[in-house]
Amino acid sequence: MPEQGREQWTSRLGFILAAMGSAVGLGNVWRFSYVTGENGGAAFLLIYLICILLIGIPIIMAEFTIGRKAQSDAVGSFEKLAPGKPWKVAGIMGVAAAFMILSFYGVIAGWISYYFVNYLTGNLWTMPAEGYDGFFVNFITNTWHPLIWQFIFMVLTIGIVFVGVKKGIERANKILMPLLGILLIVLSIYSLTLGGASEGLAFLFTPDWSALADPKIYIAALGQAFFSLSLGMGALITYGGYLSQKENLPGAAYSVAGLDTLFAIISGIMIFPAVFAFGIAPDSGPGLVFMIMPDVFDSIGFGGGIFGLAFFFLLAAAALTSAVSLLEVAVAYFIRKFSWTRQKGVLIIGGIIFLIGIPSSLGQGVLSNISIIGDRDILDSFDFIASNIFLPLGGLIIALFMGWGWKKADALRDSDYGDSAIGQLWLFLLRYLAPIAIFLIFLSSIGFFSTGVE
C-alpha cells in the first residue's frame, strides 16, 4: 500500500513523461555541450554512450524497481526494504546531492531565463555594442542581476512543487518537451549550413583516440551520464514511488535513456558546427551555449530573434521540470522525516537551496578568485563534487543493493524482467560490471593509473 496521502501518477504516460522531464534539461544542452567540448569531442561521446548503456540503464532500472516496490522517498525506500542496513547512505548522499545540484542549477537556469526575457523584449535580436560574448560576461559578473534571475527561477520551481506532483508536471511536459525536440532538430539542420559542418561533425563523431589517454575524460563522461539521466541520487526512486504496479519498467527505462541521449546528440549537432563556423573554442567552458547560440540566431537575420525566444523559453521550461525533480527528492525526504506539510517543506527546503546557490552565482563576479577544487570556481566545484563524485557513488551503492542485497528471483520479478536472458544480463551488469567500472573510473580520476609522465 502506498503511504498515506501519497499521490500517484494519473496515467502510465504521466510517469514516463515526468521521468523524461526530469532527465531532459540543462544537462542535455548546456552541460553536455560544454563538457563534450572540454573533453575532446567524439572520444568523450563514445565513453559517455558506453556509460549510459552499461551503467546508466541498469541503474535506472534499479531505481525504478526500488522506488515502485518501496513507495517512499530516496532514504525511506532503503529503510523500508532493508531496515537497519547501511544501504540508506545512498539515499542520504542523494538528498545531499539534490541540495548541491539544484543550488547551481538554479543559477544557470536563471541565466537561461534572463536570455529568454532579453529575446522577449527584442534586446538581443541585434548584436549589443559589447558583442554577444561581452553581453554574457557583463551579465554573469554583475552581482545582482544573476541573483535576481536565480531567485525568480527558484520561485517558479518552488511554486510547482508547492502545488503537488502530478498537477504541475504532467501537463506542461506533454507539450513543451516535444516542441523543444523539434526546435533542436530545426536548429541543428540550420547549424549544418553555417560553414562549420564538416569540422563540427568530425569533432563530435570522429574520435581522436589519443584523448582516451587522459584519465579525466572517464570521470567526466560518467558524471555527465549520471547527471543527464537524473541518476544516482534517488530522483527516479522518488518518482518511481508515485508509480502503480501496472507499469512495465524496462520499457520506461529504455525510453527515458533513449530520449535523453537523443536530445544530447541533437544538441551536439546544433552546437558544434556553429562553434566552428563562428570560430569559438569548443573548450570555452560553461558559457558555451550562451556565447554560441545568439550568434546562430543573429545569422538567421530577420526573425532569428523568434528562434532565440523559443529556444530559451523551451530550455527554461525543460530546466524547470528537472529542477522540480531535484527539489522533490529533498522535499519528499524532509516532509516524511519531520512530518511537515508539503507546503512547509517546499518553502523551507527551496529557500535553503536558493541560499546555498548564492556563492555559485557570485563566483562568476565578486567571488571569482575563490576556487574550491583545483582551479574550478565555486559553481564548477559544486557541480564536480555532486555530479562526478556523489552521483556515481550513489549509483554504485544502488547497483550493489539491487545486485547483491535482493534475492535474485525477487529482483527479476519486481523489475518486470522475469526470468529472461536480458534480466540475467541486467543483474550481471549491476553485480559486477557497473560497480567495478565505477570503482576503476574513480581510481583513475585520482591518478591511480597514471604513469606520472604527463
Q: Which residues bind ligand PHE (CB under 6 A)?
A: 22-23, 25-28, 101, 227-228, 230, 233, 235, 322, 325-326
Closest distance of CB 132 from ligand PHE, Å: 23
- Measured from the CB atom, is 38 or 295 closer to ligand PHE? 38
Closest distance of CB 444 from ligand PHE, Å: 23
- Measured from the CB atom, is 391 or 427 closer to ligand PHE? 391
Closest distance of CB 105 from ligand PHE, Å: 7
Closest distance of CB 240 from ligand PHE, Å: 13
Output DSSP code: residue 138.
H
Contact assessment for residue 71 and residue 65, using Cβ atoms and an 8 Å cutoff:
no
Closest distance of CB 326 from ligand PHE, Å: 5
Residue of 354, 353, 345 lying closest to 161 (CA atoms): 345
Q: Cα(158)–Cα(27) distance, rounded to whole angstroms?
A: 20
Q: Cα(361)–Cα(110) distance, rounded to whole angstroms?
A: 10
- Measured from the CB atom, is 325 or 364 closer to ligand PHE? 325
Closest distance of CB 138 from ligand PHE, Å: 26
- Residue number, nearest CB to ligand PHE: 27
- Measured from the CB atom, is 28 or 71 closer to ligand PHE? 28
Question: What's the residue count for the chain?
Answer: 454
Q: What are phi and psi of 38, to 5 degrees?
A: -75, -20
- Measured from the CB atom, is 323 or 358 closer to ligand PHE? 323
Number of helices and strands in the chain (H, E): 22, 0
Residues 6+ apart with CB under 8 A from 315: 26, 29, 30, 112, 180
Show the CA angle centred on residue 261, arms to residues 241 and 310, nearest 5°: 95
* Cell numbers standing for residue 115: 536570455
- Measured from the CB atom, is 60 or 201 closer to ligand PHE? 60
